[in-house]
Structure 1
Amino acid sequence: MTRRMTGGEAIVAGLLANGVDTVFGLPGAQMYPLFDALAQNADRIRTVGARHEQACGYMAFGYGRSTGKPGVYSVVPGPGVLNTTAALATGWGCNTPMVCLTGQIPTPFIGKRRGHLHEIADQLGTLRSLVKWAERIERPADAPALVAEAFRQAQSGRPGPVALEMAWDTMAGAEDVPDAAAAVLDAPAKPEPMAVSHAVNLIRAARFPLIMTGSGAQDAAAAIGLLAERIGAPVAAFRGGRGVVDEAGPWGLSSYAAFRLWEQCDLLVAIGTRAEMPTMRWANMMALTTRLDGGRKLVRIDIDPAEMDRLEADAPLVADAGEGVAALLAALEGHRPPDNRAAIETARREAAAAIRVVQPEMDYLDVIRDVLPPEGLLVEELCQAGFTSYFGYPVRRPRTYVSSGFQGTLGFGFQTALGVKVAHPDRPVVSITGDGGFLFGVQELATAVQYGIGLVTVVFNNNAYGNVRRDQETRYGNRLIGADLMNPDFPALARAFGLDTARVDSPAALRPVLAAALAKGAPALIEVAVARGTEAPPWPFIHPVKAY
């Protein structure tokens, strides 16, 4: 069947066929036909606007990161889509499914460099350098197939961001368009039996196995929990794999507790992770290594075969995390694991005691963890509390801790958290951010109020880019440049936008204010006043050896 549609209508039909319920967007001239089609389908797709294109990208990232479903956003071409590239890079680094929909100058002008509105030299090439897959829709009739392909690419194999562009005239033009259909995803990869057999032999021979999880493990939590028990291995993660196993349970560990066990470890089972901790954070950030040190054996489960070249494994299982772990469990039936529970509990206890020196960050994080239920979501930011959360905030459930991963995109947190809350309107979501990063997207306070996004944002205000300032003090002879900040009155500013606000200066004061804000469910901002220079550095517990 076919139906006459504009290019914009054809794209939206493709979104509906793929189960999209939310689009984050900022309309403009080239995108009017698409946004008009969204308006005509407002009962089926919610469109959440923004005050800056970067927020559209970050909100889509937060949506995708916290759900595992593609986060979709749409902005104008040229400067508009360029404003979202940090979010795309973050999505690529965190293996997060995202779909970017953008426009293009009129077809006759493409490649001619005449200076048409929003023209850049090679937009498609630029996008392809940032995302997993990108394509141009040349005519409305091509939209259903290419939208379906975009969703297949975003979700199949190693997930990631994708992009589609459509020229201004094509999006407004109409022709007969075939019916849209949902993407058919690639079947999850299954491990080779010989690789499973070799991995099982290594596991049976191990005296002290350790499991590390990454983003690729998030949807295999139940199976990984069984594997941990079956082989007697604690489970740890740095950022993306946190919450796969309850870090307050018997097998989950903080990253620093895992470091304290590393010397005893003779086998690492790495599931959906680049294994950044042992190869960089616990080693040397400036020295590239392609194998584990200390004679340790490595079993890797990863859906991306290229990962096996980047970090060589003794038993490489190219497979979906769930499929790979299931194969190991079946082959390990009856296995009698080593009993390392005493060592695990000692590492847990000693690590928990050691990190108490990171103050006041630990006390504030304790309050947030106590107030948030296990299924509540925390979005960190590149600030002292955010860095401390890497090891000092126990994550209880999958997809409840959202990080920017190795991209370290300062300013991502608040904007990303808006998308997380849109995706989870009935669950509490807290954004922790520093004063510096928060001001990257402060205008989106208006978005929170306009769309009733009940995010609670905790701004730690030390009037500085705290990490930069400390490094300049300690490593560069106290030659300060660009590190000290002049900030607004954050509660007064938030009130001007229409938010509930408060200012506190102690963990005890934060507890009732945070609890009340979460209970109310309305957009809220809480400023935590921190005297400049009083925060203990978290880095000894992130880089526990000299790593750079």
Structure 2
Amino acid sequence: MKHTAMNNTATKKMTAGEAMIESAVANGVDTVFGIPGAQIYPLFDGIYKHNLNLIVPRHEQSAAYMAMGYAKSTGKTGTFAVVPGPGILNTTAALCTAMGNCSPILGLTGQVPSPFVGKGRGHLHELKDQAGTLRSIIKDAFAIDDPAQTAQVMNRAFDTARSGRPGPVTVEMCWDTMAAEGEFASPAPVPAAEPEPEISPDSIKSAVEMIAKARKPMIMCGAGALHASEEVTALAELLNAPVTAFRSGRGVVSEDHLLGMSAVAARQLWDDCDLLIGIGSRLEMPYLRWNNYMQYERKPSSGPQLIRIDIDPAQMEIFAPDLGIVGDSAQVCRALYDQLITRAKPNSDRLDEIAQAKAVAWNALQSVQPQMAYLDVIRQVLPRDGFYVPELSQMGFTTWVGGLPVYQPRTYVEGGFQGTLGYGFPTALGVKVANPDKAVVSVSGDGGFMFGVQELMTAAEFNIGLVCIVVNNHSYGNVRRDQEMGFGGRFSGSELKTPDFVKLAESFGVRAHRVNSPQALKPVLAKCIELNQPCLIEIQSERGLESSPWPFIHPQGPLKSA
């Protein structure tokens, strides 16, 4: 095969699989999480030749979770590579999680030999419609049929993953096509970045009028505001507006800033709020968690006026605001600031109200034990720029509502609305690979941890210095509590027999410790972070011991002051 170079770029003889990697490198990829196999050997040969950082997990699902952790903690595109069919299907739990929490990730995979596509002959790893199956879950799925189009399709895939509302994308290539050699441009061509879409001046003008009239505005952030910390903070300070988030937007404004606050504290101010500004957020907290979780409303039937700022125009149809501004959150906040600076009349009483709300919320959360005591220790030891990766667990749910204050964007890496049990540990490994010099702590329950326990070997082999805390309460703790409260204590499938996690970790070559109190955790955690080596800490806990954080996640109203 002979392929024409683009823009007179030099060419090099390589397989189409290596050309895919050449394009990935041109798009900024330095790390790939993946497991090799027959259909994608040329991809891995390309990874080897380009000397990329290759992390090989022990399960395909973990490859995609690690790519998600890499992406979520950096804002860059995370990349993984697995075989087609059962291999790519094994990643779908992570892919739908990444779709939910807006993580830009690219999955590279293979396909049956080109003469077999669509024939249903039953070739190795054949699916009826692999790309179609994936499109039902993720942002898009691309196929490279013509090797000459490799760079073009790869560039389109990266652009799709990053642009607008970020999300997961896959690219597939047939087995024989990937192995065939040809002349390809080297380095691979990359198009110039597209300019951001223009923001409607009329929508900015209307928003300024609404904001200028508001006396008690509130700002809620989501994943779409993670890159706009400076702009959101400036706007909030101009308005004396409290800033909160539920999960993904935590830390956009530091929660120890005068205006930064947890979800529980925000609930204290909600009933008096006359304008909500949602920035890159689905606004799950006030309109689902604080409302009827089982009732869909296309437009709020109660509450304050609502302005939504979102890069995705579809969001304005899914949940309709009084005013929608489609655009990049940093640019929109900057435009609002510039026009409000001479018009804003911040309420001077707000700072006292915010401080009071924060104090009431923090004091009330102390009833959630022992989770709060452990989280307090973790927050004391974890540096401000350290990363915390929760899990679907009693400790994780407690962090949702402010049990662990977050000080910087991207340092709280949550799974989003899918609520995918087992995401935490492998995702945290990807966070640590992306941030090798920063402290990274994951906290899982014994149930969720066992979904990915095999990745202890990955941590050991690649010396990934993650500190993994496993709270062993011998149960799926939340399920057990639900069965206790709602089903007469008929514990059906919620109580677990667990291994000796210390011996298990040590068998993988991972340092391990066991503690049974917050006081005992503190020096052990500090030492593990200092070592910057793979470590596991098992917290022993009695079955059913934890207080429920759910009254704070679905509150019936504001808390009463002490």
TM over 0.5: yes
Change (3 A) 1:446 1:222: same
Structure 1 residue 7 displacement after superposition: 1.2
Query: Distance between the aligned counterparts of 1:65 and 1:248, measured in 2?
Result: 22
Q: Secondary structure at the match of 1:260?
A: helix
Aligned partner of 1:314 among 311, 322, 327: 322
Corresponding residue number in structure 1 for 2:152: 145
Q: What is the aligned counterpart of 2:450 among 427, 436, 439?
A: 439
Partner of 1:229, secondary structure, is helix
1:299 maps to: 307
Determine which of 499, 504, 517 is the counterpart of 1:488: 499
- Structure 1 equivalent of residue 87 of structure 2: 80
Is 1:473 the counterpart of 2:484? The answer is: yes
Match for residue 347 of structure 2 among 338, 341, 344: 338
- 1:354 is aligned to 364
1: distance between equivalents of 2:468 and 2:189?
39
Q: 212, 222, 234: which is aligned to 1:204? A: 212
> Which residue is 2:409 aligned to?
398
Question: 1:57-109 CA deviation, whole Å, 9 max, x = no partner?
Answer: 00000000100100000000000000000111111111110000000010111
Q: Does 1:154 align with 2:164?
A: no
Contact 1:371 1:511 in 2 (8 A): yes
| 1:382 aligned residue | 392
Structure 1: distance between partners of 2:529 and 2:265: 31
Give the 5 Å matches for 1:170-189.
170-179=177-186, 180-189=188-197
For 1:321 and 1:19, the matched residues in 2 are separated by: 24
Q: 1:97 aligns with which of 99, 104, 110?
A: 104
Residue 439 of structure 2 is matched in structure 1 by 428
Equivalent of 1:368 in 355, 364, 378: 378
Deviation at 1:228, TM superposition (A): 0.6
Give a deviation string over 1:487-546, Cα, whole Å, max 9, x none: 000000000001111000000000000000000000000000111111000000011139
| Contact 1:18 1:181 survives alignment (8 Å) | no
Question: What runs of 5+ residues in structure 1 fail to find an aligned partner?
Answer: none
State whether residues 111 and 121 of structure 1, in contact with CA within 8 Å, keep that contact through their aligned partners in structure 2: yes
Question: Matched residues in 1 for 2:456 and 2:483: separation?
Answer: 32
**What residue is the counterpart of 1:35 in the other structure?**
44
Q: For residues 289 and 394 of structure 2, what CA distance do their matches in structure 1 show?
A: 17
What is the aligned partner in structure 1 of residue 291 from structure 2?
283
CA distance in 1, matches of 2:461, 2:495: 32
Partner-residue secondary structure (3-state), 1:268: strand
Of residues 426-435 and 33-42 in structure 1, the stretch that sits farther from structure 2 once superposed is 33-42
Partner in structure 1 of residue 560 of structure 2: none
Match of 2:115 in 1: 108
Q: Percentage identity across aligned positions? A: 52
TM-score by length of 1: 0.98
Name the counterpart of 1:216. Answer: 224
Query: CA separation in 1, counterparts of 2:261 and 2:298?
Result: 25
**CA 1:243–1:39 in structure 2 vs 1: closer, same or farther (change >3 Å)?**
same
Deviation readout 1:211-266 (Å, 9 max, x if unpaired): 00000000000010011110110000000100100011111000010011100101
Residues 259 and 351 in structure 2, CA contact (< 8 A), matched pair in contact too: no
- What is the count of residue pairs matched by the alignment? 544
Report if the CA contact (8 A) 2:440-2:467 is conserved. Answer: yes
Q: Which amino acid aligns with 1:15?
A: A
Task: Quote the offset at 1:186 in angstroms.
Answer: 3.1
Letter aligned with residue 132 of structure 2: G
Which residue in the other structure is 2:22 paired with?
13
Bigger mean CA offset, 267-276 vs 185-194: 185-194
Contact 2:271/2:303, CA 8 A, preserved across alignment: no
Residues in 2 aligned to 1:348 and 1:160: alpha-carbon distance in whole angstroms: 34
Displacement of 1:114 in angstroms is: 1.0
Q: Following the alignment from structure 2 to structure 1, what is the Cα–Cα distance between the partners of residues 527 and 308?
A: 44
Shift of 1:36: 1.0
Secondary structure of 2:300's partner? Answer: coil
Distance in 2 (CA, whole Å) between partners of 1:545 and 1:436 is 30
Distance in structure 2 (CA, Å) of the matches to 1:417 and 1:219: 20
Report the residue type matching 2:136 in the other structure: S
Contact 1:156 1:186 in 2 (8 A): no
Check 1:5–1:275 CA distance in 2 against 1; reply closer, same or farther (3 A cut): same
Contact 1:360 1:535 in 2 (8 A): yes
Q: What are the residue-to-residue correspondences of 1:114-133 with 2, within 5 Å?
A: 114-133=121-140
CA–CA separation in structure 1 for the residues paired with 2:229 and 2:77: 20
Between 1:286-295 and 1:6-15, the stretch displaced more is 286-295
Q: TM-score, normalised by structure 2?
A: 0.95
Say if 2:388 and 2:441, in contact at 8 Å, map to a contact too: yes
Q: Are the aligned partners of 2:69 and 2:413 in contact in 1 as well (CA < 8 Å)? A: yes
- For the residue of structure 1 that corresponds to 2:107, the secondary structure is strand
How many angstroms apart in 1 are the aligned matches of 2:389 and 2:428? 6
- How far the C-alpha of 1:466 sits from its partner, in A, is 0.2
Distance 1:295 1:380, change over 3 A: closer
Q: Which amino acid aligns with 1:342?
A: D
Show structure 2 runs of 5+ residues with no match.
6-10, 558-562
Q: Deviation per CA, 1:278-317: give whole Å up to 9, x if none.
A: 1100001111112334351111110111111112222211
Distance 2:261 2:554 in 1: 17
Farther off after superposition, 458-467 or 8-17: 8-17
Deviations 1:351-374 (A, max 9, x none): 001110000000100111110111
What CA deviation, in whole Å up to 9, does each residue of 1:366-420 have, x standing for no partner? Answer: 1111101110000010000011011211000010000110011100000000000
Which of residues 70, 77, 82 in structure 2 aligns to 1:63?
70
- Please state whether the residue corresponding to 2:169 is helix, strand or coil: strand
1:278·1:292 contact (CA, 8 Å) conserved in 2? no
CA distance in 1, matches of 2:193, 2:451: 36
Q: Distance in 2 between matches of 1:327 and 1:193?
A: 9
Which residue is equivalent to 2:529?
Answer: 518
Separation (CA, whole Å) in 1 of partners of 2:499 and 2:322:
55
